[in-house]
Amino acid sequence: MSPRHLALLGTLLFLTACKEPPPPARTESKRYFGTPPDGKLHVYFFDVGQGDAALIVSPEGHTVLVDTGPATAANHLVNRLPELLSKPLDLVILTHPHNDHHGALEPVLKRVGARQLMEPQLPKAPDAYDALLTAVSERGVQVISPAPPTATPNAPQRIALGKDVALTVLWPRAPSDALLESEDASLEVNSIILRLSYGQTSVLLMGDALAQTEEYLLARDVTVQSTLLKVGAHGMARATSAPFLSRVGARAAVISVGANNEFKAPAAATLERLKAAGTQVFRTDIDGEVQVVSDGTVLTVTPQTLPKGAPADTRYTLEGRGPTPEPTVWAGKPLSQPAPAPAVEQPVEAPVAKTEPTPAAPPGGKKYKGPFHASRLRQLFHVPECRAAHSIAQKNLVIYKTREEADHANRVPHDCIP
């Protein structure tokens, strides 16, 4: 064999030896590995730094994520949530448009998905928040509001999570009740407030609601009595008033707060009020993630980090405060059935009617003629001069020529329309 042939053979042998074997066939791993329902109610108050995020898992496996914490919590949540979920979330609730409550929403939805999202539809929401809702709706998530049932406007909206388990929306109640006004905290005072009940146990989640909201609820004798309180506004001094604590009567409280935060929360005054009320306090900056489990009779609280010297199996047991009524439907449909398409799916430009019927006169005899402005993302509609109408992004603007068109689209009149 010639030297040239020997060199060529050597090159071929070298290439053959360096060729990597094909990778072994892989079996696609399951996206979620949450445990199956165990017949108990679970609430996980995540340690997301300075922000709020809590997961509710009902005894039958229905799931609700209340807030998603700040953007810095994204890595933690996209790893933690799959440990607790076996399917996409049934519902995400954003209590109000502040970044420390919705900052990680997009990565969370990308990782675990959700069927519906509830948000309070506040008129002074930032443009970036409306853009976030647009992205959510384009992902196929239905955006809904916390409005009371149309058939029973004096009753609260109740979300059934299975037998004996319900999530009641205590506030806001637009359009049945006007939103609260505040010069510097209009978003906070109108946070979504939730009461989770299972048998004789209950958990009250206050979002960033302040004392003004608490006073409003107390004046209307709203049921706030609960076994455990998720303290509002991260424990800042302007919330969690003594009269409110007295009415709630919680045996324990959770404060979701970041260590050494710039707001110096929780405030010493808030901690003093909780102590005076005899309420045991758990803090995510000290206790880490706080897990709450209910069998319908008692709540068991397990902090991630225990006090020095406490046994590793330490649990805190709270007796329930008494039974609550059992709701069975959510917006007219059981939770397990698909909900009707919400108003967010209305076209950006509503069809113009061939004839223009005169709208019915509201109380006082004043007639409101079109056009009416609404957001593609929200159920309310407004007169054009309304301040809330001015905040609607052009790409989300829906224009109805008459009030009948808005009514037929299942829109709800804003306070600017008596």
Q: Which CATH number is 83's domain given?
A: 3.60.15.10
Give pLDDT tens digits for 204-263: 999 999 999 999 999 999 999 999 999 999 999 999 999 999 999 999 999 999 999 999
Which of 11, 73, 85 minimizes the C-alpha distance to 46? 73
Question: Which residue, among 119, 122, 229, 224, has the nearest Cα to 170 in the 3D structure?
Answer: 224
Token pair belonging to 34: 């949450």
95 with 225, same domain: the answer is yes
48 with 183, same domain?
A: yes
The pLDDT of 90-113, averaged and rounded, is 97
Give Cα separations from 125 to 55, 186, 193, 234 (angstroms): 24, 10, 18, 20
pLDDT of residue 150: 80
363 shares its domain with 237: no
Question: What's at 92, amino acid-wise?
Answer: V
Gap between the Cα atoms of 161 and 197, Å rounded: 10
- Is 152 inside any structural domain? yes
Q: Which domain holds residue 169?
A: 41-319
Residue 399: its pLDDT value, please?
82
| Same domain membership, residue 352 and residue 305 | no
Residues 152-185: tens digit of each pLDDT: 888 889 999 998 999 999 999 988 889 999 999 9
170 φ/ψ angles, rounded to the nearest 5 degrees: -85, -30
Same domain, 149 and 254: yes
Neighbours of 129 (CB within 10 A): 21
Domain-embedded: residue 196: yes
Is 111 in the same domain as 225?
yes
Residue 301 is predicted with a pLDDT of 98
Q: 242 with 165, same domain? A: yes
Say whether both 277 and 379 belong to one domain.
no
Looking at the structure, tell me whether residues 348 and 256 fall in a common domain.
Answer: no
Whether 17 maps to a domain, the answer reads no
Q: What is the pLDDT of residue 255?
A: 98
110 domain residue, yes or no: yes
pLDDT of residue 398: 81
For helices 127-138 and 105-112, the axis angle rounded to 10 degrees is 10
Which pTM value belongs to this model? 0.76
**Residue 118: inside a domain:** yes
Q: What angle do CA 258, 191, 185 make, to 5 degrees?
A: 80
Per-residue pLDDT tens over the stretch 255-286: 999 999 999 999 999 999 999 999 999 999 99
Residues 397 and 290 both lie in one domain: no
Instruction: Answer whether 195's CB lies under 8 Å from 223's CB.
Output: yes
**Can you read off the two tokens belonging to residue 199?**
């048998």
For 88, which DSSP code? Answer: -
Three-state DSSP class for 127? helix
Is the residue at 18 inside a domain?
no
Which residues share a beta bridge with 144?
118
Per the domain annotation, does 169 fall within a domain?
yes
Are 89 and 164 part of one and the same domain? Answer: yes
Residue 336 lies in a domain: no
Residue ending a domain, among 319, 352, 378, is 319
Q: Cα-flanking dihedrals φ and ψ of residue 207, to 5°?
A: 55, -135
Shared-domain flag, residues 213 and 146: yes
Total domains in the fold of the chain: 2
| Contact predicate 226/321, CB 8 Å | yes
